[in-house]
Amino acid sequence: MNAMNKHKVVSQLFFIILLMSLFVCSSYAQQTSAANPDAAQAEQEENVAPENTRIEAAPVTPFHMPIFSIYAKMGPFTPAERAERLEHIIQQLSDDIHFSPDRMEIVDDGATLDIVYNHIVIMSVIDGDAEYFQKSKKEVAEYYKENIARAIDQYKRDNALMTILTETGMVLLILAVFFFALRYINLLFRFLRRKTVLLRGTFIKDIRIKSYIALNEDRCIVLALLFLRILKYAAMLAVLYFSVTLSFGIFPVTRGLASKLLDYALTPFSNIVFGVIGYLPKAVAIAMIVTIFLYLAKGIKYFAVEIEKEKLVIKGFYPDWAMPTCNIIRTLLYVFMFIVIFQYLPYSDSRIFQGVSVFIGILISLGSTALIGNLVSGLVLTYMRPFRSGDFIKIGDVIGTVREKTPFAIRVLTTKNEEVTIPNSNIMSGFTTNYSQTARENSLILHTVVTFGYDTPWRQVHELLLTAAARTQHVLEDPAPFILQRALDNFFAEYQINVYVAEEKLMPKIYSDLYENIQDAFKEAGLDITCPAAYQVELTGARGANSN
């Protein structure tokens, strides 16, 4: 209970000091603005002066704050030289402990009106000064005299002992508020950290994208604590910045620096706010355009899915064309959408944005020749339909099952479980054999050739080949196997056995079984299968021996 009471007392003390500091700062600012409106008058004076003369204005700042500006030349002296001389005289007058504004007077010297103090000419007002203000010389001289007297009087009051003590007390008060603010910022964010950890499993849960866990609870907690830490340091920096700004604003010497610091903080924020407000109509236009195009893309995808599932049938349009065509149309839609919203993008008309766009376009055009070639080839293959995913095909020397079709290449799993990637441009430049398409439409014919000499009866060879085919698994009985006489060479005849199969992906196995059964059938009949090349060599050798 003692600790709780202590915290309550400290909290009440903190808020009392905060309210007192705000009240003192506001009252001091009002008093300063009422007693020394030089900056406001100088700004008003700048607004009154003609546009073509503002560049030549020379502000008079004897005490680091402008009291008015000089625009006209006087003889060989420029406005800047006149302002420099006047600042020097005002500083000398401010050092006079017996200075009294009542001793200042305006003396008519014929061509000029002189502002005089104890027979010392502070400055001379000429016709040129009156022309810039569009008033009489008397009024302008009175205006200059009042501002000089007010500036010196304010300087003396600012440098009085009581004023210095008051300003020092205000600085100490600001420092006390600053340290209390830092302490309570630490306590606040320590409390928020504890509460954030307790939200595990209730408010803070896993962030999922369908079945994928993008961020689990632990990572969400870590990110939340990191965000709180950043927010904490930002709050501390803001308190430090405004404390320094208020401290600089108390003393006259650093008051100009304080206004600059405040401008540094508020100007970017105001620019961002007004920039966002000004950009809102374009942002609304972009949101409307994007929404319309997204719903168009969703509608196109809906019809594509319906066609792919064969719920919607379009004559001459195959179901496997649906999704590729949908992707092409959606890509064109997004490109057109970007063209439409390009003019609404921020800085789209700047030269830097245009230069970067041209540079990216050149890089894409130079580095994507092969990429575009494969993409176009993939598009052509989609509508040619030489094969589909899962088909058993032969491309060049590669035989296997199509595992994946991409816009740039296909992946084929061979009979040896080797995955081969073939670019689409290579497929377009060669030939493709689709065994699955033949098996779907008509039974696939597998064949092999054997050779025998003319002393072996051809009917016996036919019978043995048909016997071997009948023993082979996965060979269809209907249509029945058949034999073709391929050739009648000088020394042997070629016999081709043809069998029908429906399982094209078992081709290697069926061929292996057929070869085994052919060897067994001829071995049982007492016949040897003669290799044509070896047979020719044997006969040539025998004929040579006979000739000898």
- Domains along the sequence of the chain with CATH: 50-144 (no CATH), 254-367 (no CATH), 387-437 (2.30.30.60), 442-547 (3.30.70.100)
| pLDDT per residue as tens digits for the range 463-522 | 999 999 999 999 999 899 999 998 888 888 999 999 999 888 899 999 999 999 999 999
Residues 6+ positions from 239 with CB-CB distance below 8 Å: 178, 181, 182, 185
- Is the pLDDT at 357 greater than 50? The verdict is yes
Amino acid 407: pLDDT: 80
Amino acid 346: pLDDT: 79
Integer Rg of the chain from CA: 49
Q: Which residue has the higher pLDDT, 270 or 422?
A: 422
- Is the pLDDT at 206 greater than 80? The verdict is no
Instruction: Kindly state the tokens that stand for 54.
Output: 């503002």
- For the question of whether the overall pTM of this predicted structure is more than 0.75, the answer is no
What are the φ/ψ torsions at residue 193 (nearest 5 degrees)? -65, -45
Ranked by mean pLDDT, which of 41-55, 257-271, 404-418 comes out on top? 404-418
Lowest mean pLDDT among 34-48, 248-262, 426-440: 34-48
| Three-class SS state of 432 | strand
Mean local confidence (pLDDT), 217-235: 88
- Is the pLDDT at 202 greater than 50? The verdict is yes
Give whole-number Cα distances, 488 to 454, 484, 527, in Å: 9, 12, 19
What are the φ/ψ torsions at residue 546 (nearest 5 degrees)? -65, -40
- Is the pLDDT at 106 greater than 70? The verdict is yes
- Tracing tokens 């706010």 back to the chain, one arrives at 273
> What is the spatial distance between Cα 254 and Cα 482, in angstroms, rounded to a whole number?
109
Ranked by mean pLDDT, which of 133-137, 311-315, 358-362, 416-420 comes out on top? 416-420
Contact 443, 429 (CB under 8 A): no
Contact 69, 57 (CB under 8 A): yes
Q: Which residue has the higher pLDDT, 80 or 31?
A: 80
Percentage with pLDDT > 70 across the chain: 81
Amino acid 471: pLDDT: 94
> What is the spatial distance between Cα 100 and Cα 135, in angstroms, rounded to a whole number?
27
Q: Rounded to the nearest 10 degrees, how much is the dihedral formed by the CA atoms of 229, 235, 240, 243?
A: -160
